[in-house]
Structure 1
Amino acid sequence: MIGMTQESLASESNHTYQVWFERYLRKVDFEKQILNSARRGYLRYGMRVGYASAEYDRDALMKVDSRFIESLKVKYPDLKFKREPIKNLFSKEIGYNLTISWDGE
């Protein structure tokens, strides 16, 4: 038996998440996107995360996870992150907008 404990499973899950997170940032060239926004004179960068796409797309599923924003905060401590829910006509949350800013607000 490999000793499956709650702690070991959580550790494995967190490790897997961090591997995905680093690969995702490289895949979308995240830092370049932020830098290009700053070069264009913007003080913010926006990202939309939809829950519906999380059923079919691994990247969307991982971005819905609360660890996504927390991992961004750890990796980029000088940036500000604001999560705003997106709601449908029935006030059901269907995703969120993530605003990343560097303007001090």
Structure 2
Amino acid sequence: MEDVLSRKLNALADPTRRAILARLALGEATVAELGRPFAISQPAISRHLKVLEAAGLIEAGQAAQARPRRLKAGALKEPADWIAGIATLWSDSFDRLDAMLAEDIKREGE
């Protein structure tokens, strides 16, 4: 079974889904509103929304006949924290490499 972080990262891997999330960050929207900027069918938008919902990134509301979608509060924290941790590892690795290169250059100068 796929873990929650993997589902979220998989959902975020698609540019259309990232654009949908960016739109939902501004406020809730219906499927029709979310589909407007894209040259894809309404069923395709619905499939993207299902992926985002399964990943726990968005949720459907209830407003009469419409089911507007909204970004779930805090849903991006886990992927953001994971990415920040990886960035820290890379940064630390580059800092160590810089220190090693500086030491080599210092020794060559002696």
The structure with more radius of gyration: 2
Using structure 2 for the length normalisation, give the TM-score.
0.33
Question: Which of the pair is proportionally richer in strand?
Answer: 1
Question: Which of the pair is proportionally richer in helix?
Answer: 2
Using structure 1 for the length normalisation, give the TM-score.
0.34
